[in-house]
């Protein structure tokens, strides 16, 4: 051994951690470098603690139907206890992460990394400076909160989502949630269910930048309204006054909102500064994302970038998919590894309803030259959904009419984020619907509506799903 590592991963969020583990499992000598907390944003300040809170919020929301189910009494939310609970969840997962890396022989280094030259990564640690020699590098440095004017972080008064999970929530019962994207849409529901009075201030219609259908967004809006949550669309904050008594927000239309504290759900920006990218010949785009190809390669040989620092989708799902792609390309040993189709990575929103989707929507399918065929099935008559008092939502499948190839899908309702895997795990788009049609199902199950949507599509458009399953070529029957 010449002391040269096979791979150095910069960042231990979901993508960086997965990349290090995959590489080590396949026999590569790996080091990971982390400047902050092990597990990155997702584990410490993002999807993991937020999902813990979302589950609590769903339990609280479900009590509206408790009396009819023969359950007496009422649940009372406790935000402080909920915060403590997610802290324990995060600590347990973080311990398992660190333990598993140790057992795999991954060298874990706490410090700030910088590309110093071909095959060299300099790490500034608390004890000094170290240079790692490596054959490959994966940059997975994530993102940080975007703070738009006129806001500025104020501990206890104006919080980013990072700050919300770094310290117990501030006192007070009235909070302003600012933003129209996924984070604001999720936290407006979660905080309302956890006992707060929520003023949701959104410049634009919630989730307007996503590809969810009007039917999906309408179903979510109705579910939110049932729980007393509605966005004030067109609310533009022009002035923020934070003091000991709370926060006063002055809006462009002259109105004012006075709250105890503010939560900014205004998006995130990639973290790429201080990495030596320019000197290494690695480009970023106008928004700061590292430019990569479909195999997550940057402009520097042997250097890859994955996750929020490279993907405008900015989800843990895309980071995990990028890790698989980058490590696969490294293991290909000079040949091309499988390319990443980012559009087929699931995109999920956890709010008053779960929304999950992947692939093309109707407009994008037509723009790409497809003749889309739609299969639809609702949960309103699904025995399992009715038994759970969670019959809102539907499954919507989009296929090419001529080939039967799966173009995309949308699932709305409870467990949508789990159900979507039954479609994304198919061998390939050409065989996906045959895969679903040929499956064997538990009854009663929400997953049966996937089968019903495919069968509806086949019956309506005269497509033989048995042919898809047998031939695997997506051919349409004569």
Q: Give the chain's mean pLDDT.
A: 95
Shared domain check, 374 and 336? no
Predicted local distance difference test score (pLDDT) of residue 472: 46
The CATH number covering residue 242 comes to: 3.50.50.60
CA atoms of 153 and 161, how far apart (whole Å) = 11
Lowest mean pLDDT among 232-241, 249-258, 411-420, 455-464: 455-464
Predicted local distance difference test score (pLDDT) of residue 191: 98
Q: What percent of the chain has pLDDT above 70?
A: 97
Structural domain boundaries, residue 364: 353-471
- Tell me the per-residue pLDDT of 200-230, one tens digit each, with 9 for 90 and over: 999 999 999 999 999 999 999 999 999 999 9
CA atoms of 317 and 420, how far apart (whole Å) = 12
Q: Is the pLDDT of residue 320 over 60?
A: yes
Lowest mean pLDDT among 105-114, 253-262, 373-382, 401-410: 401-410
Predicted local distance difference test score (pLDDT) of residue 427: 81
Q: Is the pLDDT of residue 1 over 80?
A: no
Predicted local distance difference test score (pLDDT) of residue 294: 97
Under the banding of pLDDT at 50, 70 and 90, the label for residue 471 is very low
Annotated catalytic residue 208: no
Residue 93: closest CA among 58, 45, 146: 45
- State whether residue 239 is helix, strand or coil: strand
The count of residues in the chain is 478
- Of 277 and 426, the structure prediction assigns the larger pLDDT to 277
Under the banding of pLDDT at 50, 70 and 90, the label for residue 473 is very low
In a domain, 476, yes or no: no
Task: Tell me the CB-side half-sphere exposure of residue 303, using CA atoms within 13 A.
Answer: 27
Shared domain check, 273 and 129? yes
Shared domain check, 105 and 185? no
CA atoms of 261 and 28, how far apart (whole Å) = 48
CA atoms of 70 and 286, how far apart (whole Å) = 57
- Tell me the per-residue pLDDT of 442-466, one tens digit each, with 9 for 90 and over: 999 999 999 999 999 998 888 776 6
Under the banding of pLDDT at 50, 70 and 90, the label for residue 469 is low
Q: What percent of the chain has pLDDT above 90?
A: 90
Predicted local distance difference test score (pLDDT) of residue 466: 63
* The last residue of a domain, from among 216, 241, 266: 266
Shared domain check, 280 and 139? yes
Residue 16: closest CA among 138, 169, 130: 138
Residue 6: closest CA among 105, 111, 87: 105
Query: Token digits for 422?
Result: 């039954």
In a domain, 83, yes or no: yes
The CATH number covering residue 430 comes to: 3.30.390.30
Under the banding of pLDDT at 50, 70 and 90, the label for residue 475 is very low
How many structural domains are present in the chain? 3
Predicted local distance difference test score (pLDDT) of residue 467: 64
Shared domain check, 211 and 111? no
- Tell me the per-residue pLDDT of 179-207, one tens digit each, with 9 for 90 and over: 999 999 999 999 999 999 999 999 999 99
Predicted local distance difference test score (pLDDT) of residue 390: 97
Neighbours of 344 (CB within 10 A): 17
Residue with tokens 């990072």: 162
Residue from 136, 227, 318, 443 carrying the catalytic annotation: 443
Residue 357: closest CA among 431, 422, 416: 416
């Amino acid at each position: 051994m010449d002391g040269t590592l096979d791979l150095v991963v910069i960042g231990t969020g979901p993508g960086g951690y997965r990349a290090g583990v995959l590489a080590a499992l396949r026999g590569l000598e790996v080091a990971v470098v982390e400047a902050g907390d092990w597990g990155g944003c997702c584990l410490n300040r993002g999807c993991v603690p937020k999902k813990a809170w979302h589950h609590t919020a769903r339990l609280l929301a479900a009590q509206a139907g408790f009396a009819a189910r023969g359950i007496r009494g009422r649940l009372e939310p406790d935000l402080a206890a909920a915060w403590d609970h997610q802290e324990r969840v995060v600590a347990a997962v973080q311990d398992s992460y660190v333990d598993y890396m140790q057992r795999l022989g991954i060298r874990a280094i706490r410090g700030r990394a910088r590309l110093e030259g071909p095959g060299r990564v300099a790490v500034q640690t608390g004890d000094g400076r170290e240079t790692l020699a490596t054959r490959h590098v994966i940059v997975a440095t994530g993102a940080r909160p975007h703070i738009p004017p006129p806001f500025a972080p104020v501990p206890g008064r104006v919080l980013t989502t990072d700050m919300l999970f770094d310290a117990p929530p501030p006192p007070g019962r009235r909070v302003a949630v600012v933003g129209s994207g996924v984070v604001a849409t999720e936290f407006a529901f979660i905080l309302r269910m956890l006992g707060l009075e929520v003023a949701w201030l959104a410049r634009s219609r919630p989730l307007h930048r996503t590809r969810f259908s009007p039917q999906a967004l309408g179903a979510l809006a109705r579910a939110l309204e049932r729980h007393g949550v509605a966005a004030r669309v067109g609310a533009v904050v022009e002035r923020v006054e934070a003091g000991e008594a709370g926060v006063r927000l002055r809006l462009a239309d002259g109105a004012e909102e006075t709250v105890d504290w503010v939560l900014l759900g205004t998006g995130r920006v990639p973290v790429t500064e201080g990495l030596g990218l320019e000197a290494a010949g690695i480009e970023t785009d106008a928004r700061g994302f590292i430019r990569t190809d479909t195999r997550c390669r940057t402009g520097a040989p042997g250097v890859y970038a994955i996750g929020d620092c490279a993907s405008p989708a900015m989800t843990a799902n895309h980071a995990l998919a990028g890790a698989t792609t980058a490590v696969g390309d490294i293991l290909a040993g000079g040949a091309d590894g499988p390319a990443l189709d980012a559009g087929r990575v699931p995109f999920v929103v956890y709010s008053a309803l779960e929304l999950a989707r992947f692939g093309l929507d109707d407009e994008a399918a037509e723009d790409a030259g497809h003749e889309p065929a739609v299969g639809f099935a609702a949960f309103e008559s699904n025995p399992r959904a009715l038994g759970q008092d969670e019959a809102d939502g539907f499954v919507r499948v989009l296929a090419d009419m001529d080939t039967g190839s799966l173009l995309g899908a949308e699932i709305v309702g409870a467990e949508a984020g789990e159900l979507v895997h039954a479609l994304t795990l198919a061998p390939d788009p050409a065989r996906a619907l045959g895969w679903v049609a040929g499956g064997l199902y538990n009854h009663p199950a929400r997953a049966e509506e996937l089968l019903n949507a495919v069968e509806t599509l086949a019956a309506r458009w005269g497509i033989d799903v048995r042919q898809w399953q047998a031939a695997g070529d997506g051919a349409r029957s004569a």
